[in-house]
Amino acid sequence: MSRLVVTTSWDDGGKEDLRLSELLAEYGIRGTFYIPKTHQKAEPLREEEILAVAEKHEIGAHTLDHVDLTGIPAEQAQAEIAGSKAYLEDILGKSVRMFCYPYGRYNARTKEIVASCGFAGARTLRYTKLGTVTDPYEFGVTLHASNSSPRTTLRIWRAYGTSLRSLLDWENRAKALFQLALAEGGVWHLWGHSWEINRAHEWDKLERVLDCVSKRDGVRYATNSEAVDICLAETGQVPRSP
Ligand SMILES: [Zn+2]
């Protein structure tokens, strides 16, 4: 794929999502916010806060209770997945097209349930560099907006072949991979958590990254579902669900 698509995704909800959604919009960057109804460690967004984020970005489902879908019976997984779609659609008054597997954990059964519930795609935590979408239910990411563990960094280095130095800090990593994306095309997909940016005091760092990738000619700035649609259209596949 020669076209360059820039997309971002943000997991779990939380108060800082509002600040994040404003900041992204300021730079013309679009995002998909994956919001569960409840979360053991985070305070979920209130309905009016979800609606405020939805004015500028896409809202995606992330189960009702942020559960590992591979560790529960099929009926329960079905209820968590279908329930999260209905929960958000009720608030938003429109279709919710994207799903995100909590903890990045899924299997063939999980994918089947997500597809049968009418989602157009699902985001994973597979690091696919700048890869395009071949399976919409295994939509990968490029990098995390946080410094990864040394083990993950090493794994990314082996898979990506970029300089190890550029991987040590996520700001450098984001910029290096964006330069590569400008040359080669593909999907540049930043994911993270607003609470993580806040806890690490990295709002300025995020802003520098957004400034670097924003407002470029010929780049498509897309939500996750738009990125999936663009990729599928390029490979001649028909997007699922309206
Ligand atoms: Zn999550």
What confidence tens digit (pLDDT) does each residue in 186-234 have? 999 999 999 999 999 999 999 999 999 999 999 999 999 999 999 998 8
Give the chain's domains with CATH numbers.
4-234 (3.20.20.370)
> How do residues 36-65 score in pLDDT, each as one tens digit?
999 887 778 899 999 999 999 999 999 999
At residue 111, the 3 state secondary structure works out as helix
For residue 61, the surrounding DSSP H or E stretch is strand 58-61
Distance 2 CA to ligand 1 centre (A): 31
Annotate 96-114 with b (16+ C-beta within 10 A) or e (fewer). bbbbbbbeeebeeebbebb
Determine contact, residues 119/72, Cβ cutoff 8 Å.
no
Structure tokens at 12: 């779990």
8 compared with 236, residue with greater pLDDT: 8
State the distance from the centre of ligand 1 to the C-alpha of 13, rounded, in angstroms: 9
pTM of the model: 0.94
Residue-level pLDDT at 109: 97
Ligand 1 centroid to 144 CA: how many Å? 13
pLDDT given at position 160: 78
Token couple for 173: 């990593």
Q: Which pLDDT value is given to residue 2?
A: 63
Q: What is the pLDDT of residue 187?
A: 96
The pLDDT score that the predictor gives to residue 242 is 60
| pLDDT band for position 241 (cuts 50, 70, 90) | low
Is the four-CA dihedral 225, 63, 22, 156 of positive or negative sign? negative
Report the alpha-carbon angle 12-16-17, nearest 5. Answer: 55
Tokens representing 114?
């997500």
| H/E segment holding residue 230 | helix 224-234
Per-residue pLDDT tens over the stretch 142-184: 999 998 778 877 877 777 777 777 777 899 999 999 999 999 9
Residue 81 CA to ligand 1 centre (angstroms): 13
Residue 40 confidence (pLDDT):
82
Alpha carbon distance 162, 183 (integer Å): 14
CA 66 – ligand 1 centroid, Å: 6
